[in-house]
Amino acid sequence: MRTVIFDLDGTLADTSHDLIGAANACFQALGQGAPLDPAIDAGTAFQGGRAMLRLGFERLAHPAVEDAVTAQFPLFLDHYAAGIDRHTRLYPGAIDAVERLRGAGYAVGICTNKPEGLAETLMRRLGVRDLFGSLIGADTLPVRKPDPAPYRAAVERAGGAVGMSMLIGDTVTDRETARAAGVPCVLVGFGPAAASVAGLAPEAVLGRYDDLFELAERLIPRGASA
């Protein structure tokens, strides 16, 4: 079955505001104010919790940034879980595109570097979890993106074949994952990294979700051995 696998943060949903809120809650608990700004730091938010904490501690000129990041990360996850869908919104047209793919017989799934439990919770709160045949998170397997194993698992658990699949994502991690799996990569061109995604040489840049179906039809092989 031909398959489209979606990244979550920055691809299906704009999670940046809630991610930054959770990171700032860590700094506030340390008496350090709120060094991250949702309007400016969304691109860092989409690189994950550790990247946000690192940026905040660097701005605060912390003397041992990596140790501080490691210490705060579990607290960040707790704060994030508490407000996971406060501001988070699916991108316009994303679910229409998923439904169109499903209607045409494609399998669809999710491969994210969010912890699986948080990704499950978020997709259920947004009311769209059951549209996806698989959900692989950062901790589902012993390795995470850009290792290709989570991607392959997302395809196979959705009922598809890797050689007839593609990944849609938003960062260099997704680009490298697709390359490692040997599949086409579409990167979204509507997020904070819009200016730089073309430089990652994806097979296509998606400006709006209305165009995804035609891209899948064009990029995904119709038959493959893998």
Ligand X SMILES: O=C(O)COP(=O)(O)O
Q: Which residues bind Mg ion (CB under 5 A)?
A: 7, 9-10, 46, 170
Instruction: Tell me, rounded to whole angstroms, the distance of Cα 49 from its chain centroid.
Output: 12
Q: List helix spans (H) across 89-159.
A: 94-103, 116-125, 148-157
Contact between 16 and ligand X per CB under 6 A = no
Question: 7, 14, 18, 41: which one is catalytic?
Answer: 7
Contact partner at residue 80 from ligand X, Mg ion, none, CB < 5 to 8 Å by partner kind: none
When the beta carbons of 68 and 84 are compared against Mg ion, the nearer one is 84
Contact between 10 and ligand X per CB under 6 A = yes
Question: To the nearest whole angstrom, how small is the minimum distance from the Cβ of residue 169 to Mg ion?
Answer: 6
Contact partner at residue 112 from Mg ion, ligand X, none, CB < 5 to 8 Å by partner kind: ligand X
The set of residues, in sequence order, having a beta carbon less than 8 Å from that of 199 and lying 6+ positions away, is none
Using CB atoms, what's the residue nearest to ligand X? Answer: 48
Q: Each residue of 187-205: b (16+ CB within 10 Å) or e?
A: bbbbbbbeeebeebebbbb
Residues 28 to 87 in contact with ligand X, rule: CB under 6 A? 46, 48
At 39, give phi and psi (nearest 5°): -80, -25
Question: To the nearest whole angstrom, how small is the minimum distance from the Cβ of residue 113 to ligand X?
Answer: 4
At 210, give phi and psi (nearest 5°): -60, -25
Under 8 Å between Cβ of 164 and 2: yes
What 3-state class would DSSP assign to 37? coil
Residues 166 to 205 in contact with ligand X, rule: CB under 6 A? none
Question: To the nearest whole angstrom, how small is the minimum distance from the Cβ of residue 188 to Mg ion?
Answer: 9
Residue numbers annotated as active site? 7
- Name the site residues for ligand X (rule: CB under 6 A): 7-10, 46, 48, 112-114
